[in-house]
Amino acid sequence: MPHTHRLTPGQKIYLNFTPADGKKFHKNRDKAEKKFKKLRKEFRDLQARLYAENKHKLLLVFQAMDAGGKDGTIRAVTQGVNPQGVRVTSFKAPSTIERAHDFLWRVHMAVPAKGMIGIFNRSHYEDVLIVRVDNLVPESVWRPRYDHINNFEKMLTDSGTIILKFYLHISKEEQRERFQERIDLPEKNWKFSFEDLEKRKQWDDYMLAFEEMMQNTSTVYAPWYVIPSNQNWYRNLAITHVIVDTLRQLNPQFPPPEGDVSGVIVK
């Protein structure tokens, strides 16, 4: 069940025909929320051991359309996890100095160290998404990036990084409702930007870009998960389940003492 939404390498996906509705996968919201909270508690315990063991690195990548729920997911899933072991990086439009380097330069600087969980709110995948849709670089530049990304992620994996990538899949109608709410509720006004409406017009171009991106970069070592995200409660459960299941298999342990401590008396 935790890996229901995983894409196998090379798998073709049509987002229009892929359910964004979590109710298709879980009927009972109350039960889902209870299960989510239980899993999140387990996540906290596993994270404490991951950090203490100081051996593996976990990288979680989140991509979505605007209002897809990236911020909310990160907040909900990591709630209660020790911030000392988690580093969230939000990738915005690149700065002048970032643009003066290759597209993986700023990303590489943000990958997690041993024992750490790194979370990317947007990522190097923007460089085959917005860059493509808005024609910021020609296809001869962005298309080879699929390979560059796969090679980069393979290298990270070989050096002890576990990579999980989540596409938060919402329907176009769900995005409409969320935008409208940001307009109608004064306390949400600050989240709304007129630019969002411009980007909404490119919905179909983005769907195509996401589809090709995931088909080309879902690998055995760094798979994509297409998470039905119209309902936050299902989205949170599904993602936490994948993370916890991955950490369970990793089974991190508190390290052994550095020597024989029995009988030592502190003065």
Residues near a copy of itself (CB under 8 A) are 52, 71, 74-75, 78-84, 86-88, 90, 119, 121, 176, 179-180, 183, 187, 189-190, 192-194, 197, 200, 254-259, 261, 264-267
User: In angstroms, what is the minimal distance from the CB of 115 to a copy of itself?
Assistant: 10
User: In angstroms, what is the minimal distance from the CB of 190 to a copy of itself?
Assistant: 5
Element holding 120 (H helix, E strand): strand 117-121
User: In angstroms, what is the minimal distance from the CB of 21 to a copy of itself?
Assistant: 20
Rounded Cα gap, residues 119 and 90, in angstroms: 8
Torsion on CA atoms 197, 130, 60, 236, rounded to nearest 10: 20
- Contact status, residue 94 vs residue 106, Cβ threshold 8 Å: yes
The CA–CA distances, whole Å, from 203 to 32, 157, 207, 251 equal 30, 32, 6, 41
DSSP string, 21-47: -GGGT-S-HHHHHHHHHHHHHHHHHHH
Closest CA to 65 of 145, 125, 139, 5: 125
User: In angstroms, what is the minimal distance from the CB of 205 to a copy of itself?
Assistant: 17
Residue with Cβ nearer a copy of itself (196 or 212): 196
User: In angstroms, what is the minimal distance from the CB of 90 to a copy of itself?
Assistant: 7
Q: What is the CA radius of gyration of the chain?
A: 20
Residue with Cβ nearer a copy of itself (52 or 141): 52
For residue 165, what are its two tokens?
């990538």
Rounded Cα gap, residues 206 and 12, in angstroms: 16
User: In angstroms, what is the minimal distance from the CB of 164 to a copy of itself?
Assistant: 17
Closest CA to 2 of 251, 252, 261, 247: 247
User: In angstroms, what is the minimal distance from the CB of 74 to a copy of itself?
Assistant: 5
Residue with Cβ nearer a copy of itself (88 or 130): 88
For residue 267, what are its two tokens?
């003065």
The CA–CA distances, whole Å, from 32 to 22, 35, 72, 75, 200 equal 10, 5, 17, 18, 31
Residue with Cβ nearer a copy of itself (103 or 192): 192
Residue with Cβ nearer a copy of itself (126 or 211): 126
Residue with Cβ nearer a copy of itself (1 or 109): 109
Residue with Cβ nearer a copy of itself (29 or 44): 44
The dihedral sign for the CA sequence 48, 157, 119, 105: positive
